[in-house]
Structure 1
Amino acid sequence: MRRIHVFLRRLVHVAAILILCLVGYAYVARQPQNLPWTRLDLSQPVGLFTGRKLAMLAARPAECRALLDRAGVAYARMKPGGEGRCAYADAVRLAPAEGAIALEPAAVAPSCPVAAALKLWEWQVVQPAAQRHFGRAVRKVTHFGAYSCRRLYGRSAGDFSEHATADAIDVAGFILTDGRRIGVAADWKGEGKEADFLHEVRDGACALFSTVLSPDYNAAHRDHLHLDQAERGARGGRACR
């Protein structure tokens, strides 16, 4: 009798393990974006490890461009430029596409990981937020540029900015399809839907970029959202302020 009880207990344990495996498989099949080992797919919703996977693309430029290709993102690969601490080799210029948000000025060329994050931000965060708050889409994102060979805050010494390698972009505002403008400088501190929209897209960017700095951080960011893909993001280090 005792052997039967032992056998039944073991059978129950095996069954429990099998059930957990099945549940785990179902989870992976339905939400691969929430697992660290699945391949990044820009068509998937933002998951727990999406930001980390995007930052890891800095060491895999060919994989990053292939990711854009699979997602149908139109872009032009830029030639390597700069030198020393200001060298970059994986910059891309997003091309105009029907129904896509345009960057203004259009000549900006951030690194591929930044461009990939911008597209996910557009699809998963910015456009849904614009529809909720304004009932229409965003047509353009205005910015202050991506590449700039300089140190942090323009200092003469200290660490170099992520802009020095085109791994950042400073977003100044948004233009809706009806021409309405929403600016970080003008609308961040308001109490209307413009401010709500800006705070929502800032919060959404935090899941996609290594660093997101807003007017809540300091006066140097009073008029823009700084978005970058610093290397520490590949190790899970993130900053959102």
Structure 2
Amino acid sequence: MRALSAGLRTLVWLAVLAAIGFALYAFARSRPQDVPWTPLDLSQPVGMFTRGKIGDLRGDFAGCRALLDRAGVRYTALPVRDAAGQCGYDDAVRLRGGGARSIAYAPADVGVTCRVATALALWEWQVVQPAAQARFGSEVDRIEHFGSYNCRRMYGRDSGAFSEHATANALDIAAFVLADGRRISVVGDWTAGSGRGDADKAAFLREVRDGACSVFSTVLSPDYNAAHRDHFHLDQASRGTGGACR
């Protein structure tokens, strides 16, 4: 009787383990973006491990460019820029037309590290465009920015750590222009005014800021400090498993 009970317990545990295995398999099939071992795919929605997978592309320029190619992102690989000190880059691309869905950048043809380009593509397609359609019934036609590569230290100081801009590993986003001509700027619309549509603009900016935190290592907004009152700072600094989103 005791042996039979032990056998039944074994069968029950095997059945439980099988059920868990089938559940995990079904989850992996239905939401591969939320499974840590599935390869990064820019056609999939942003998942729990997407930011970490983008971070894993550090040092794998060929693999990163292959991801952009498969997603149809239009770019040109930039030659190595070997600047003095801690500036320069060896894994940058120049975006052409903004990506597969033709969001333009102003100034045009922005150059960033491949990991930043990968995150931008996901952010544009999975966060920015859906948010614009939901709130304004119009797609984003243009993203205005303050630039990427700039050989300088953080906040332009004479000493201290170098900025991620010094390696083209960051981009500062200033505004979004919709296809119908409406413009939403960080400096003008972060705090909702009393005019018609102001609340939607402020909510949109917070939605795209929060969405950026899932694909960028660092996201800094006006909530961080006065130095970011007019832009979002987006970068792919190496931060292990944690990111900075403020």
Higher helix content, 1 or 2: 1
Aligned length: 239
String of CA shifts for 1:59-117, please: whole Å, max 9, x gaps. Answer: 21111000001111111111111423002011111112674211111132011100110
Structure 2 match to 1:95: 96
1:236 is aligned, of 235, 238, 241, to 241
TM-score by length of 1: 0.96
- State the SS of the aligned residue for 2:141: strand
Residue 56 of structure 1 contacts residue 231 of structure 1 at CA under 8 Å; is this kept in 2?
Answer: no
- Counterpart of 1:217 in structure 2: which amino acid? Y
Paired residues of 1:85 and 1:164 also in contact (CA < 8 A): yes
Q: Deviations over 1:147-180 (max 9, x none)?
A: 0000000000000000000000000000000111
- Residues 146-185 of structure 1: matches in 2 within 5 Å? 146-185=148-187
Q: Say if 1:207 and 1:99 are closer, same or farther in 2 by CA, change over 3 A.
A: closer
Q: Identity, % of aligned pairs?
A: 58
Tell me the alpha carbon deviations over residues 176-230 of structure 1, each in whole angstroms, 9 at most, x when there is no partner: 0011111100000115111110010000000010000000100100000000000
Which of residues 180, 193, 200 in structure 2 aligns to 1:193? 200
**Structure with more contact order per residue of length (Cα contacts < 8 Å, sep ≥ 6):** 1
SS in 2 for 1:92: strand
SS in 1 for 2:81: coil
What are the residue-to-residue correspondences of 1:34-73 with 2, within 5 Å? 34-73=34-73
Q: Give the conservation status (yes or no) of the 8 Å contact 1:46–1:207.
A: yes
Q: CA deviation at 1:37?
A: 1.9
Using the TM superposition, give the Cα deviation of residue 237 of structure 1 relative to its aligned residue in structure 2, in angstroms. 2.2
Verify: 1:130 aligned to 2:132, yes or no.
yes
Q: How does 1:3-42 map to 2 (within 5 A)?
A: 3-42=3-42
One-letter amino acid of the structure 1 residue matched with residue 34 of structure 2: N
Alpha-carbon distance between aligned partners in 1 of 2:131 and 2:29, rounded to the nearest angstrom: 27
How many Å separate the matches in 1 of 2:152 and 2:132? 33
Tell me which stretches of 4 or more aligned residues in structure 1 moved more than 3 Å: none
My pick for the range that moved more, 10-19 or 141-150, is 10-19
Q: Distance in 1 between matches of 2:200 and 2:152?
A: 35
Structure 1 position 209 matched with structure 2 position 210: no
> Which runs of 5 or more structure 2 residues have no equivalent in the other structure?
194-198
Match of 2:111 in 1: 109
TM-score (norm 2): 0.94
In the TM superposition, what is the alpha-carbon distance from 1:51 to its structure 2 partner? 0.7
